[in-house]
Amino acid sequence: MIGLIVLATFTTIIVLAILIIINDDLPHSVVLFMGFGLGSVILYFIFSAPDVALTEAVIGTGVSGVVFLVTLLQIRSKEEIRR
């Protein structure tokens, strides 16, 4: 059972990583990146590293996603001003 979960999560995060790279829409890519972080949280927790899972849950899915989104918004507002 655990092996099945691990295999499913591995394939999901590999597919998500490929999707992040080939996606043209950058905010879409950031949301997929947060999903990638969630998959790695599950993997870290199954492989008995709960503190790494906690760090990944807060930084990988929370803070870095928001920082990416805010940076995209900043770049867009500057481009609009330049026009």
Partner 1 sequence: MNLKKEIEVSTFIVSLIVSIMTILLLPIFLDFNLTLTSLGNSLIDLNLVQTGSANAVTSVVTYFRGLDTLGEITVLFVSIFGIGLGLDRYREKLNIFAYENRLLKTAVDILFPLIILFGFYIIIHGHLTPGGGFQGGVIIASAFLLMFLAKHNDVTLNHKIISIAEALSGAGFILLGFLGVLLIDRFFGNFLPLGRVKTLCSGGVIPLIYIFVGVKVSAEMTALIDYFIRIKDVR
Per CB under 8 A, the segment of 9-17, 18-26, 27-35, 66-74 that binds partner 1 is 66-74
Torsion of CA 57, 63, 64, 68, to 10 degrees: 140
Answer yes or no: are the C-beta atoms of 36 and 59 closer than 8 Å.
no
Can you tell me the distance from the alpha carbon of 83 to that of 68, in angstroms, rounded to the nearest whole number?
23
Closer Cβ to partner 1, 12 or 35, answer by number: 35
11 binds partner 1 (CB under 8 A): no
Give residues in contact with partner 1 (CB under 8 A): 50-51, 54-55, 58-59, 62-63, 66-67, 70-71, 73-74, 77, 81
